[in-house]
Every structure is written in structure tokens, then in C-alpha cells.
Amino acid sequence: MSKILIIDDETDFVELLKDSLESKGHSVLTAYDGKTGVEKAKEQPELIILDVMMPGIDGYEVCREIRDIVLCPIIFLSAKQSETDKIKGLALGGDDYLVKPFGLKELMVRIDAHLRREKRAILLNEAGKRIFIHFKKLTIDLKSREVKIKGIPLTLTKREFDIIELLSLHPGQVFSKEQIYERVWGYDAEGDFSTVTEHVKKIRAKFAEIDPDTQYIATVWGIGYRWEKLI
């Protein structure tokens, strides 16, 4: 099954969730504060359950610190219900945002859904005929999920790579922000598709640091984005 990390300072909840996950065959790591959670994330879990409100380092900061070293889905848990809080969590690299109070069954269903989605993505990459995609000075390794420009690897978050992968596999095709959000964040995700704009800005900035003369992602005004057909 899967290795899952729970980062939450509510010990009773953590033990309950841990027991439920282990009963389904999962291996569970636990951390009761943000600092420990950052260290445990280095063990490369396949999914992370992350509470927002914790003493010391809160969940947002944990996500910010670990997102560049882990590619797995991150599910935020929070009593904060505002749209702004949800968008913040998703923009930092979260994959889902569940507002407290919630039922354990709902959380388990979401965990299963994210794990299934990740496994499908891995299978598609491994079964696909193309492992590498080349566009001018840029190379995408679909198996290792790495992007290089002029041979220099880029530091990308999971969401950033997912957007690059989606667009580059369909060069010339226009995707609306809504389509990108649904394909990358999931059809059942709760959030605002405007976060796609912020992610594309960050991707472009990282591209431009190494190759400022080439535009890989074009804006189609009033619609969305497309990957330029480059040879």
C-alpha cells in the first residue's frame, strides 16, 4: 500500500486516523508539530495530511518548506473556512483543503482518491511511449518528473511540473484556466482556478532565469494558455 505522513498536533485525532489507515494496509508516519513534520517529509511519503493551525511552524509554512522536496499530494486540514485561506493553501502547493469539522469517512475517501490519481499518473508515464520531451533548449523527463533548460535542472513544485506536463504533452492546444485547474488539482478540488495564473507566472520566471529569449507557455487572452510548438 502507501506511506502516509500525518502532521497534526491533535494527538487523539492522529491516533484515530493512524489506526484507520493502518487497518487498510498503509504505513503511517506521524508528527505532532511542524518542525518534526518537515524532517519526516524527507522520508518521501506518498501522501501528507497537514493541519494548518499548529504551534511554532504552522501548516502553511511546513508546506512552503517541503514542497520543493516532495511531489506527493498534500491535504490541508483547517478550521479556517474563508476562500482566502483555501486559496493560500492551494497556491502554496496543497492538493486539497478540508474544513473542520469533517467526517473521518470523507477524509478517507479523499485520501483514496488522491492516491489513485497519483498511481494513474505514474502508470501513464511508465506505460507511455515518450519518456523525454524536447523543446529547443528545454527537456522534460516524464519518468523522473524533471525539467532541464540548457542541461540545468529547474526546482519545481508538484503543481508546477503537472502544469508543464499537461501543456507540453498537447503543444498548440489551448487550455482554459478552468480546464488546467480541473486536470491538475482534480475535479473535486475546492478552490479558485485563478491560482493557475500565479503558478504559470512562477513557471515562466523559472524558465526565464535560464532562457529569457524563448517563450514556452503562451497566453491566449480571454481563454487560457497553450504550449508553443517549438522544435
Per-residue CA distances from 172 to 70, 72, 89, 192, 227 (Å): 30, 29, 31, 25, 6
Give me the percent of the chain exceeding a pLDDT of 70: 91
Nearest CA to 159 among 131, 126, 196? 196
**Could you give the CA distance from residue 207 to residue 148 in angstroms, rounded to a whole number?**
9
Give the 3-state secondary structure percentages of the chain, helix then strand then coil, rounded to 5.
Answer: 40, 20, 35
pLDDT per residue as tens digits for the range 37-58: 999 999 989 999 999 999 889 9
pLDDT per residue as tens digits for the range 129-171: 557 788 888 988 887 889 999 999 999 998 999 999 989 888 8
Domains of the chain: 3-124 (3.40.50.2300), 130-227 (1.10.10.10)
Cis status of the peptide bond prior to 73, with omega within 30 of 0: no
Read off the pLDDT band of 229 (50, 70, 90). confident
pLDDT per residue as tens digits for the range 93-138: 788 889 888 899 999 999 998 888 777 655 555 545 557 788 888 9
